[in-house]
């Protein structure tokens, strides 16, 4: 049997939290790579990153970095993606971008493989956008329900981990926690206030007293689901958790749906682990259990007490994996299938 085709893969922003997770995910899932090109800023060039039992040397990101590259995974921030994404695409690479730069561009598909992979076929700019981490896990959980009864309204409250803000934010949480436990003053380094033993709404302001993060969940959910009529009412909050986002989700439909039907739809849904045990303390999806895993965990599915035919549920996933790195790698896997996988 001949060897499956392998690809030249670049990772822009390889030293960041998501970039490192992209490298780990590519390795764990045995993506067929003939050459890996880890890219970062000038100050990181020449440093080493672990790769397949050895090390790989970081190269400086520049205009010629994508020559001969088949797939370019970007996780270096919106400004870098805006500058170098088109360069990578023009060089012939399929760009899969994790930043917010291209998500709402009408010529760039916004893709979650379990939900709307077909959209990736139409990419006029050669770029595919990865959605926001909080949006990804929610739409994976809701798409089977939407297909069955069409969603009218989503009310979502998030409990988002500090790793979603980057490695330095995690270090800030840990340092603040040490200060609180030692009884010394908390001096935030990354967050706009105390995150240790506290909760914060720490995203930039958007329109109408909503945060940018909340508006992302509104616009991205509609684009991914292909339905601009879906109402989305979000409240996004950062909690003192290192990794793993949680979401309390209320859903109303165009026809009534009960918890039993929802569980039947989600029991074998792609990318979902359904936790359908009856409520008991500690028996529910938790960030500590989701961290390091690939699935979206859905539990506490119950009939809403105030709105007949509506549902409530709790959704948890590893925000660095399914919320970022894994979603991007899954897109690449489906665009470039290998018989070895």
Active site residues per annotation: 133, 245
* CB of 84 closer than 8 Å to CB of 95: no
CA distance 216 to 101: 12
As a whole number of angstroms, the distance between CA 198 and CA 188 comes to 12
Residue 155 has phi, psi (to 5 degrees) of: -115, 115
Q: Tokens 């003053």 map to which residue?
A: 185
């Amino acid at each position: 049997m001949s060897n499956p085709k392998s690809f030249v893969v670049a990772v822009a922003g390889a030293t960041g939290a998501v970039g490192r997770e992209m490298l780990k995910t590519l390795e764990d899932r045995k993506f067929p790579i003939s050459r890996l090109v880890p890219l970062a800023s000038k100050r990181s060039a020449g440093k080493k990153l672990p790769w397949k039992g050895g090390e790989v040397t970081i190269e400086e990101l520049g205009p010629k970095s994508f020559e001969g590259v088949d797939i370019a995974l970007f996780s270096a921030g919106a400004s870098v993606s805006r500058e170098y994404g088109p360069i990578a695409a023009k060089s012939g690479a399929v760009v899969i971008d994790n930043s917010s730069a291209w998500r709402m561009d009408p010529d760039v598909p916004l893709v979650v493989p379990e939900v709307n992979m077909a959209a990736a076929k139409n990419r006029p700019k050669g770029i595919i956008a990865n959605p926001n981490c909080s949006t990804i896990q929610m739409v994976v959980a809701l798409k089977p329900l939407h297909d069955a009864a069409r969603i009218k309204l989503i009310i979502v409250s998030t409990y988002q981990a500090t790793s979603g803000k980057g490695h330095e934010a995690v270090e800030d949480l840990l340092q603040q926690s040490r200060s609180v436990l030692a009884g010394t003053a908390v001096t935030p380094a990354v967050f706009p206030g105390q995150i240790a033993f506290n909760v914060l709404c720490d995203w930039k302001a958007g329109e109408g007293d909503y945060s940018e993060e909340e508006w992302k969940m509104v616009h991205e959910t509609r684009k991914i689901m292909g339905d601009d009529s879906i109402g989305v009412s979000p409240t996004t909050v950062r909690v003192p958790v290192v990794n793993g986002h949680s979401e309390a989700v209320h859903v109303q439909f165009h026809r009534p749906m009960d918890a039993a039907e929802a569980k039947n739809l989600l029991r074998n849904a792609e990318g979902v682990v359904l936790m359908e045990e009856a409520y008991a303390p500690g028996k529910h999806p938790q960030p500590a259990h989701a961290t390091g895993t690939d699935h979206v965990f859905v539990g506490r599915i119950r009939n809403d007490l105030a709105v007949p035919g509506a549902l409530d549920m709790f959704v948890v996933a590893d925000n660095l994996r399914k919320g970022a790195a894994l979603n991007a790698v899954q897109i690449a896997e489906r665009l470039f299938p290998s018989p070895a996988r």
